Amino acid sequence: MPITIHEIKEHYDYYGLHDMVSMSTKEYQQILANGALFWMDHHDFVRSTLSDEILATNKEQLDAIIEHLQQYRDRMPSA
């Protein structure tokens, strides 16, 4: 079932994700540490916190995600 706008708002409220543009790097690191975006389940699979979708099931898949994100990093401006 699709995630509703209400569920997204609840998630943002719970983790304080309202203004990521003005968030400091330290605040963002804390949000990551709190599991606001990703978490690792009992099978050691990386999942989306919001959707519970499995994003990676092994190190090779995780490396592929990291490599893909690196492409975005190369295009983004510095903070």
pLDDT tens digits, residue range 12-69? 999 999 888 999 999 999 999 999 999 999 999 999 999 999 999 999 999 999 999 9
Task: Name the strands in the sheet holding 46-48, side by side, starting at the edge strand that comes first in the sequence.
Answer: 38-40, 46-48, 54-56
Q: What is the structure's pLDDT at 6?
A: 96
pLDDT reading at 79 higher than 80: no
Q: What is the structure's pLDDT at 2?
A: 85
How many domains does the chain contain in total? 1
Report the amino acid identity of residue 21. Answer: V
Q: What is the structure's pLDDT at 78?
A: 83
Domain span at 59: 5-75
Q: What is the structure's pLDDT at 54?
A: 98
